[in-house]
Structure 1
Amino acid sequence: MAELSKEELDERVAILKRFRKLLEQQRNKFQEYLFVLESQEGKIEIEDGDSIVAHAELENQIVKNLASLQKVIIPMQSMYKAIVPGVPVADNATVEQLQLDLANLQKQVLAQNERNKNLLQSQMGKIKNQLGNMNLMNPYRGRSSVYSEKAAAGSTIEFNV
């Protein structure tokens, strides 16, 4: 392996630091996303519609931030993989640990998202049943309105002048 010049080494270290910082930002966003999903689960259970909507909006913002971060991370990851042989082992281990943490967080987020989806579907089913039962218990169900009945009406009109 050829000896690296000072400039090449500095460049590799800068790439490594930037990549590590991006991974840390992504990890923090995933932790934030997981927190939002976990608190959303509680709101679904207590059927707090306004909070569920607010959580969904926050969730969309976090997902957009993650997507834009991912657009930057992909090229940085390619650059990082190209320089790995010249990176000090300790720095490389930090990046690898961050990547493992990210993979675990992604799994947790997907699992929590699936739980929330199932819980929301269950709650929606309950609400549909409640609405159906309300319709069956309506005392006016099957009766026609007194206003819609056709009563006999006169056919001639008398005017007195």
Structure 2
Amino acid sequence: MASTESETKQTPLTEEELAHRVAVMKRFRELLLEQRNRFQEYLVVLDKQKDVIEKGDTDALLSHVELEEKIVSDIFAIQKVIDPLEDLYRASYPERETEVPKLKAALEELKHEAVQRSQRNRNLLSERMEKLRSEIKTLRNNPFAARRSVYDNSGAASLIDIKG
């Protein structure tokens, strides 16, 4: 029983262990805040992208897609660092987690919102593409599109037979 009592008693932390725990906590919090900011930036881009899709501006859409890819790449890069750091944080602070769960909940909410807006934009883009396909099909079926103009010289002979 003496060993159980000694196991339940906590040994005081050294300055180095305490400094390490504080550094882990600060870095973890910074990364969560950075991740939250990236998601907020992503939501703004998705909203602007929606407007661009509705206007049909393909050049602007291309630049928004490129920006979106960069932000998503940043989000995944930060997440790769957050995951192991979260394990260190939980090991350092198993008993007290007050601010981190709030940040994580806000992040999850932002992720959910980003997924919804991204899906909305995909749906809008699909509708726009279908509309364009329909317009192209209508143009192809136009009976006047196949006729040549009397002023069209592209079908004229380029060589003249003078020997007869």
Same fold by TM-score, threshold 0.5 exceeded? yes
Identity fraction in percent: 35
Specify the code of the residue in structure 2 equivalent to 1:97: K
| Matched residue, 2:99 | 94
> After superposition, what is the alpha-carbon deviation per residue over 1:96-141, rounded to whole angstroms, capped at 9, x for unaligned?
1110000000000000010000110000000010111112225142
TM-score, normalisation: structure 2: 0.81
Aligned-residue offset at 1:13 = 1.5
Unaligned runs of 5+ in 1: none
Partner residue in 1 for 2:142: 137
- Which of 4, 8, 13 in structure 2 is aligned with 1:5? 13
Counterpart-to-counterpart distance in 1, 2:107 and 2:79: 12
Q: Which runs of 5+ in 2 are unaligned?
A: 1-7
What aligned pairs does 1:1-161 form with structure 2 within 5 A after superposition?
1=8, 2-7=10-15, 8-85=17-94, 89=96, 92-141=97-146, 157=163
User: How large is the Cα RMSD of the aligned pairs?
Assistant: 2.4
Deviation per residue, 1:134-158 (Å, 9 max, x gap): 1222514277x986699xx97x937
Q: 2:71 is matched by which residue type in structure 1?
A: I
Which consecutive segments of 4 or more residues in structure 1 shift more than 3 A? 145-150
Pair 22,129 (structure 1): closer, same or farther in 2 beyond 3 Å: same
